[in-house]
Amino acid sequence: MRFRLKKTLKNQRQRVHIKLTDGQFHIMGMNAWHSYLRDPYHLLLMIPWTVFLTLIGVYYIAINVLYALFYMIGGDCIVNAKPGSFLDLFFFSVQTLATIGYGSMYPKTVYANIIVTFEAMTGMVQLAVLTGLAFARFSKPTARAIFSRVAVIAPHDGAPTLIFRTANVRRNLILEAQMRVYLLRDEVTVEGQFIRRIYDLQLLRHQSPSFTLSWVGLHPINEASPIYGMTPESMIETNTTIIVSLSGIDETVAQVVHARHTYAAHDILWNHRFVDILHQTPDGHRYIDYNNFHDVEKLG
């Protein structure tokens, strides 16, 4: 097992690049379709629908061309096909692969029947694989949640607090929603070793029975907080990043959905607050105005 693992990892390198413009870690090839070239199944799940359908079309034409060439090698082996007509043999292959069987063309030699047998098996396997891939792509659960473009640090209940906002774009219920927040920054241990350390940021409310409209994440910055004592400058120097992970059960499909967002040091505004999006009409009704969802204002 050790030998296998060593052989698999040999000569493989993973480059990590930090863009100083936003302070975020960017792993080269992360979530890019070409990073899955050695894993065809995940590749076919990752590529866009247009590319996926194009690949299916190219494969379908190529496999029929291949079998048409096999039939040509057998000479005059298909009844009612014009001798030497590649087009007739191509369309006979299409009928065989799709198990259409119009009856106008059919094999008349042992060689042709052998090729038809293999092509029929190919068609069954092909149908099963493509059906599975299409179902897997359609059934992938996704959450349509948006996060505020920036996070702010402002007083809340008399204490400095890290604040950000998220909203459910689908307007359906996400049951048992959970939010986890992590802080990542560069540190040097007592032994002088450089590490990228991860801290859990405790929220005033990290769980909600139903996430429908909006949710405000609040992390009080007290002595137990990793942000305590930090400044905007120290956040930039240590490449501080805050990652928000949101998960829950989509009521419509009864599957777990998730979303995530990253705030770099430049995305955290100190001494700012979010513009209120909850309003009340003269007749006492309340409504949310998402036009100001990302807007902030500086504290006086």
Q: Do residues 127 and 63 lie in contact, with contact meaning Cβ atoms separated by under 8 Å?
A: no
Q: How many Å apart are CA 231 and CA 236, to the nearest integer? A: 9
Average pLDDT over residues 110-139: 91
Average pLDDT over residues 258-270: 93
According to the model, what pLDDT value does residue 36 have? 58
Does pLDDT of 170 surpass 90?
no
Q: Could you give the residue range(s) of every CATH 2.60.40.1400 domain in the chain?
A: 145-298
Q: Could you give the residue range(s) of every CATH 1.10.287.70 domain in the chain?
A: 45-138
According to the model, what pLDDT value does residue 281 have? 81
Does pLDDT of 19 surpass 70?
no
List, for residues 175-214, the tens digit of each pLDDT value.
999 999 999 999 988 888 999 999 999 999 999 988 888 8
Q: Mean pLDDT score of the chain, rounded to an integer?
A: 85
For the 45-138 domain, the top CATH level (class) is: mainly alpha
Which tokens in the block code for residue 22?
A: 């936003």
Q: Where are the beta strands (DSSP E) in the chain?
A: 16-19, 24-27, 78-79, 106-107, 145-147, 151-156, 159-168, 174-188, 194-201, 207-211, 214-220, 241-250, 255-264, 268-270, 272-274, 278-280, 286-288, 296-298
- Classified by CATH at the fold level, domain 145-298 comes out as Immunoglobulin-like (2.60.40)
According to the model, what pLDDT value does residue 8 have? 45
Query: Following DSSP, what letter does each residue of 233-262 receive, concatenated?
Result: HHHHHTT-EEEEEEEEEETTTTEEEEEEEE
Does pLDDT of 9 surpass 70?
no
